[in-house]
Structure 1
Amino acid sequence: MPSLLFYNEPAFLNRDVHKTLSFKASSDYSFTEDVNSVPLTGIEFFEASRDMPVLFSKDDNGDFFPLALLSLMEAGHKHLGEAGSWSDSYIPAFVRRYPFALTDEGTVCFDQNASQFQSEEGEVLFNEAGENSETLNNIVQFLNNYDQQYKSTLDYCGELKEQDLFTPFNLQILLDKDKPLRLEGLFVIDEKKLTSIPEEKVKAWFDSGWLAWTYAHLHSLGALNRLVKRQKQEV
């Protein structure tokens, strides 16, 4: 999972080195302009499914993770409006957490090149005593929540893999005579296999929320039609 996809100059946040650093929140998401998908956590499947397909990819270790398909283009997407604003659709938490992130050890890091740190205006991250400001505490809480959801999502994907529920999802769309578009290397949950999982698994997945995530994923596949229509309009 490309955890630092957008970060050009990541650094650990240090209360001594960055004691004067201030942060100004921004609605400019133009840093995403070159990607056509971003990772997603399970709890986001519900909201994302209204606007974009939720599919699965596989990393070099053979482990699966979910992603939100933003467009059918080879690179880029059309969710950006004026001044880098995000259009009226769901913004994945992976995007919203930028320019901050947590390391596997729980250390806060940030992109030193991010525009949110280039303004003279903004809110300090550390107070005069060197303690976390309220702004930083809120950021850390968001990052911790995201990290917990990310780990839970990996557990969910591991269970799906163990139950052999993933099936390849290959799609070919004929935009015009000379421009066939193919989606390869992606996976979906096999709905037929899903009906044969043991009853105790169904109950456990219901209690954990994983069953709801699964059906939100399946529901999201209908959003492919929206991407196809948008793609054809732009050809």
Structure 2
Amino acid sequence: MGAWVALSRKEHLVSRCRPREGFEFAASRQVIPVILAEVVKLVPHYVTGFVESDDGSYQLVALVGVGGHRNLYVNKASQWLCNYVPASLRAYPFTLLNDADGKKVLCVDEDYLSEDESLPRIFEDDGTLSKGAADTLEFITKCEQNRLATSDVCSALAGAGLIKPWEIAIDRGEDFESAKIDGLHRIDEEKFDSIGADSLLALRNAGALGLAYAQIFSTAQMEQLTQRAKYLANESSKVPPSSSLENLFSSDDSGSLNFDALDS
């Protein structure tokens, strides 16, 4: 992965962009930031949790690794091994970052910039974004807006004392040590079950109840994560995957988000 470059009509008017062909850029990630708009799609496939930022706030994430430097959802061919890809990965190689003045600007991974005229342009001759780049910017902007909403919901859960540290140990099979995962947090189910009516109402009004239940339900996917860890730990054996693993490790890159539903 190269450095992020802020796109400029002056500097990149005739620049082209090489499309993403796989997920090599995410092959070593252990967690992926996710947002409220995609929680329903995440729960059947991912363990979700929270990570604490330096400022004490919490971020919602999907767990895709068990330590080390391997993302269990990316194979050696850089395919994503699941039929839903988190939104934050699908816009790559584009993203929104803050400039020196704190303003959000559209950026691209410099490794994907090209002068190859067979590739799509980023800007039209008049300086407007090409349709592909404009559509990507719209998608990223909606994701960023929803990320802020997700942060507010996480703050409501933390303020109610419902987020606690989570100690996880993943069994990788007889020939491998269990993988211990540090730094994750989860919903404190005991406190959640005993929360008072006023606090429950406040959480409902903040839109936080759905996320609390979703995080709890997503822990059922810990078994799937364990299966992935065992399978990929033995991947060097080159044994063809069984039909059950083929179903588990789908490479479909589809998935749409319903942002409007969050405003209702």
**Fold shared by both chains (TM-score > 0.5):** yes
Residue 126 of structure 2: aligned partner: 129
> Aligned-pair distance for 1:188?
0.2
> d(CA) in 2 for partners of 1:30 and 1:101?
17
AA aligned opposite 1:193: K
The aligned length equals 228
C-alpha RMSD of matched pairs (Å): 2.3
- Percent of matched pairs sharing the same residue: 23
> d(CA) in 2 for partners of 1:28 and 1:72?
21
Q: What stretches of structure 2 of length at least 5 have no aligned partner?
A: 235-264
CA 1:16–1:51 in 2, change beyond 3 Å: closer, same or farther? Answer: same
CA contact (8 A) 1:32 1:76 kept: no
> Aligned-pair distance for 1:201?
4.8
CA contact (8 A) 1:165 1:193 kept: yes
CA contact (8 A) 2:156 2:203 kept: no
Task: State TM-score, norm by structure 1.
Answer: 0.86
In the alignment, is residue 217 of structure 1 matched against residue 211 of structure 2? no
2:149 to 142, 152, 155: 152
CA contact (8 A) 1:24 1:121 kept: no
> Aligned-pair distance for 1:159?
1.1
In the alignment, is residue 36 of structure 1 matched against residue 35 of structure 2? no
CA 1:216–1:117 in 2, change beyond 3 Å: closer, same or farther? Answer: farther
AA aligned opposite 2:168: L
Residue 4 of structure 1: aligned partner: none
> d(CA) in 2 for partners of 1:117 and 1:216?
42
Task: Write the deviation string for residues 99-145 of structure 1: whole angstroms up to 9, x where unpaired.
Answer: 1111242211111113x747543322221111222222211111110
CA 1:120–1:202 in 2, change beyond 3 Å: closer, same or farther? Answer: farther
CA contact (8 A) 1:79 1:89 kept: no
CA contact (8 A) 2:123 2:129 kept: yes
Q: Greater CA deviation, 137-146 or 36-45? A: 36-45
AA aligned opposite 1:185: G
Residue 229 of structure 2: aligned partner: 231
The 5 A counterparts of 1:129-208 are: 129-175=126-172, 176=174, 179-203=177-201, 205-206=203-204
AA aligned opposite 1:130: G
Residue 54 of structure 1: aligned partner: 48
Residue 254 of structure 2: aligned partner: none
Q: What stretches of structure 1 of length at least 5 have no aligned partner?
A: 1-6
Residue 76 of structure 1: aligned partner: 70
> d(CA) in 2 for partners of 1:43 and 1:211?
14
Q: Greater CA deviation, 146-155 or 177-186? A: 177-186
CA 1:106–1:198 in 2, change beyond 3 Å: closer, same or farther? Answer: farther
